[in-house]
Structure formats: structure tokens, C-alpha cells
Amino acid sequence: MKVLGIVASHRRQGNSEVFVKEALMGAEEAGAQADIIRLTNFYIEPCTGCGRCQSGRIPCHIQDDFYRVLERMNASDGIILGMPCYFHNAPGAFKLFIDRTIAVGYPNPLHGKPATVIVSYGNRGFTSYAFSQPNLLLHKFGMNIIDQALIQAGAPGDALINDKALGRVHSMGKAVAAAAKTGDMTFKGEKGLCPVCHDRVLRVLKDMESVECPTCCIHGKLRIVDGKIDVVFTEADINKGRFSEEQWYRHHMYHVEPGREYFQATKELRKERRGKYSAYFPKEEKGIVVKPVAQEA
């Protein structure tokens, strides 16, 4: 049984690397064969939005390392994902990778396998969306996130001298290996507000009584009990989350497919209207659009 550690930080010997390696040591102790990749060593281009892959049947046309990373992930029985928090969120290198997974269909080889997420951060109160992107990716792949940790480790090497955190991630790694072996995907971390991704970020909807987990798209009802906020999610709410097989199917049937039909049906009209916009600022120099200088007669 193989557990893959993914380090999504450019910083060599940085906190994410130390935490992922410590977690892998835990996984090895629990009988796993450890593998590791540094996402930032792979050349991943941005998604160009060409839309050709969106059926999930045509692979992405970009020639880079995207599929190499995916193959390493798919060959694993469990994943330990570590990254820094950048601007309250995931770092750009990780987002680049996520965007490219639009070419990945459902289900995929990672479906049902365990994963754990470790985010290193510097400043309390600057981490609100730290889990959103990793949760989106791993849930999109149908993985079971069995734990997640947000650990303060700002300066290079902080991870090395935080024994409590090292102990925590060591057991997180062990748990991934154990889950891969036994199939017990029970969530081991601190339960948050969303019953699926356990994040605490909720969006208040316009009716001013419902809330939504922006990652999972689960709607619940907000209420105050004894002066405290409570959120009620029913089983039906949970089943309507975007990561269920049914919702994936609905998304394709009612959004992606009709979108494609509409695109085909309006192709000529697009062609007619394109001219106006390609004639306006027609030249691009070094990535900057330049307005044409009026030519003398």
C-alpha cells in the first residue's frame, strides 16, 4: 500500500516539506510504502480555458507535467497534502494544478481513498480559506479527507522545533495508512460546521436564514439556540452537495451539456460579433494590449 506526500511549496526544507515528511514517516510506521513529490518541481501551465477537455473524455492538450503528477497521485492508496497558506488561501502553484483538473472525469482512480491535509501558516486571522482549495481538489477526486490540520509555522524551520505539531502530523500520516488498509474513513479531526468538508466558512444566502458551505454547496438552516449560532443540515441537504455522484451527473446533464448545445447553436452569431472586439486594441505587445495609434492619411 502506497501513501503519497505532496508538498505544494517552493520553499526547500520549508514547513510543509517537514510536516509532509514527518507524516510520511508515520504512514511508513503503519506499514505504508512512502512516496513524495514537490508539486513546484513540476512544470504546470495555466489552464487556457479552451474548453476542449470538458467532457472529461478528451485529455488536456497542454504538453507539460500535469499528467505526470496525476499519474503519481493515481498510483497511490492515500494522500498527505501539505502546503502553506498564502493570502488566506492556497498558494498559486496549487491553484494552477487545480484548474487543470477540469480535464479529469468522474469517477477517477482516487475515488474512495483517504487523504489528509496539512496547512502551515504564519499569522492567526489570515487563514480563512486555507482549506477551501485542498478540500475542493480532494473531494472533486472523490477522496475521503480523514483529517486536516492548520499549524502555525511561519518562519523557515518553525516546523522543526514544534514537537507537538510534529507528533500531530506523524499520527495523521499513520491514520492515512490505516484508513487505506482498513477502509475506515471516519473523520479524525476537529469537526467544523460543514458536515462534509468540516470547514467553518459559510456563506449567508439571500433569504437571510439559509447558509451554504461554499466548498461543498450544501445548504443548511441557521438558527440561534441559547444565544449561540447553530446550523442544521439535513440528510437531504447533505446528499445535494456538489461532490455526490448524483450531483456530478446533474451538473453535467443540466449545466455542462446544455452549455455545449447553446455554444454550438449560437456559433454563427458569435462569429458575426467577434470582429468588433478583435478590431478594438488589435495589437498585443509583451502581454499588454496596445491601442492602435491613428495612422496619418
Ligand X SMILES: Cc1cc2nc3c(=O)[nH]c(=O)nc-3n(C[C@H](O)[C@H](O)[C@H](O)COP(=O)(O)O)c2cc1C
Q: How far is Cα 47 from Cα 102, in angstroms, rounded to an integer?
A: 9
Q: In what order do the strands lie in the sheet with 78-84?
A: 33-38, 2-7, 78-84, 114-121, 144-152
| Among 88, 188, 242, 260, contact with ligand X (rule: CB under 6 A) | 88
Nearer to ligand X, 53 or 118 (CB): 118
| The three three-digit cell numbers of residue 297, written as one number | 492619411
| Planar angle of CA 82, 87, 92, nearest 5 degrees | 60
H/E stretch holding 273 reads: helix 267-279
126 binds ligand X (CB under 6 A): yes
Rg of the chain's alpha carbons, rounded to an integer?
Answer: 22
DSSP codes joined into one string, 103-114: G--SS-TTTT-E
| Among 57, 63, 87, 264, contact with ligand X (rule: CB under 6 A) | 87
Nearer to ligand X, 109 or 122 (CB): 122
Contact set for ligand X, span 191-230 (CB under 6 A): none
Cα–chain-centroid distance for residue 229? Answer: 28
Q: Could you give the string, one character per residue 150-189, with x where binding to ligand X holds by CB under 6 A and - elsewhere?
A: ---xx-x---------------------------------
Q: Min. distance of Cβ 33 from ligand X in angstroms? A: 24
133 binds ligand X (CB under 6 A): no
Site size toward ligand X, by CB under 6 A: 19
H/E stretch holding 73 reads: helix 66-74
Q: Which range binds ligand X by CB under 6 A, 114-122, 212-220, 270-278, 286-294?
A: 114-122
Q: Could you give the string, one character per residue 26-65, with x where binding to ligand X holds by CB under 6 A and - elsewhere?
A: ----------------------------------------
| Among 2, 11, 95, 251, contact with ligand X (rule: CB under 6 A) | 11
Which bin fits 287, alpha (ψ -120 to 50), beta or left (φ > 0)? Answer: left
| Residue ranges in contact with ligand X by CB under 6 A | 9, 11, 14-16, 84-88, 120-123, 126-127, 153-154, 156
